[in-house]
Amino acid sequence: MTVAYDGTGFHGWQRQPGHRTVQRELEAALGRVLEDDTVTVAGAGRTDAGVHARGQVASFSHATTLPARAFPPLVNRELPRDVRVVAADERPEGFHARHSAIARRYEYRLLAHPDLLRERHAWAPGRLPPLAALQASAEPLTGTRDFSAFQAVGSSPADPVCHVLRARWSAWEGGAAFDVMADHFLYHMVRNLVGTALAVAGTPDPGAAMRAVLDSRDRSRGGVTAPPEGLSLEQVCYAGEVVG
């Protein structure tokens, strides 16, 4: 299932006792549709509290006679307004939304000016640097690199070497957006890249400054962690699909 949600009212994707999460809402809704409260859903990305999604992917296995096309309307009737199943299809046995993924794409939006309505889904950091400076900061990021400098301190051990297929800034009507795709991401990596881009954009050579942080492999050299509300999981790619 392709799933979209406004993360504002959720304590992230992953099921947690005593907290409202996207995984818990989906499992409850599927349980009512299938009349089976043992349904377990796997998500492609474990988004944090406040992070949104347009292209989250969730998978589950069940011996149901319902066709895949029946699930979006049936499940959506059982879901709250801030989460929706956009599409559904069948995959071969052994498919797993997270482990079968070969790339994920995120977008982070910045506001040029405070905007009460847009601030639910974008961050207004104050003065926005020129777009050219932000784009220059992204140039060293593509390719296979060690992104230890952008991994949250104290996070679980993970392979710090990521293959970034795309890293670019563009204008949107509210300000600037960072579009990044990679084979995998470290914890808080995108939010730390955004915070560092803002920090180096004011230097004489933003690209060189970003490269120095990247090469240092030292989180203390980077910028602040951007808040979650600007981040959205836009797409998850699997074998056989166009990536890039």
What would the CATH number be for the domain defined by 102-238?
3.30.70.660
15-27: average pLDDT? 96
- Residue identified by tokens 């602040």 is 224
pLDDT at residue 154 is higher than 90: no
pLDDT at residue 92 is higher than 90: yes
Contacts of residue 120, Cβ cutoff 8 Å, sequence gap at least 6? 6, 8, 229
Identify whether the C-beta of residue 27 lies closer than 8 Å to the C-beta of residue 39.
Answer: yes
β-bridge mates for residue 172, sequence order? 175
95-100: average pLDDT? 97
CA atoms of 213 and 194, how far apart (whole Å): 13
CA atoms of 147 and 210, how far apart (whole Å): 11
pLDDT at residue 211 is higher than 70: yes
Token pair, residue 68, equals: 């895949």
In our burial notation (b when 16+ CB lie closer than 10 A, e otherwise), range 156-191 reads eeeeeebebbebebeeeebbbbbbbbbbebbbbbbb
128-146: average pLDDT? 97
Phi and psi at 76, nearest 5°, equal -65, -30
pLDDT digits (tens, 9 = 90+) for 167-198: 999 999 999 999 999 999 999 999 999 999 99
pLDDT at residue 119 is higher than 90: yes
In the chain, DSSP assigns E strands to 2-5, 42-43, 52-59, 83-87, 101-111, 143-146, 161-172, 175-182, 231-238
At 64, is the secondary structure helix, strand, or coil? coil
Categorize the per-residue pLDDT at 157 as very low, low, confident or very high, splitting at 50, 70 and 90.
Answer: confident
At 152, is the secondary structure helix, strand, or coil? coil
Q: What is the pLDDT of residue 244?
A: 61
pLDDT at residue 238 is higher than 90: yes
Would the CATH topology of 2-87 be identical to that of 102-238? yes
Categorize the per-residue pLDDT at 242 as very low, low, confident or very high, splitting at 50, 70 and 90.
Answer: low
Q: Which amino acid type is present at position 155?
A: S
Domain layout of the chain by residue ranges = 2-87, 102-238
At 155, is the secondary structure helix, strand, or coil? coil
Mean pLDDT over all residues of the chain? 96
Q: What is the pLDDT of residue 170?
A: 98
- CATH fold label, 2-87: Alpha-Beta Plaits (3.30.70)
The residues carrying an active-site annotation are 48
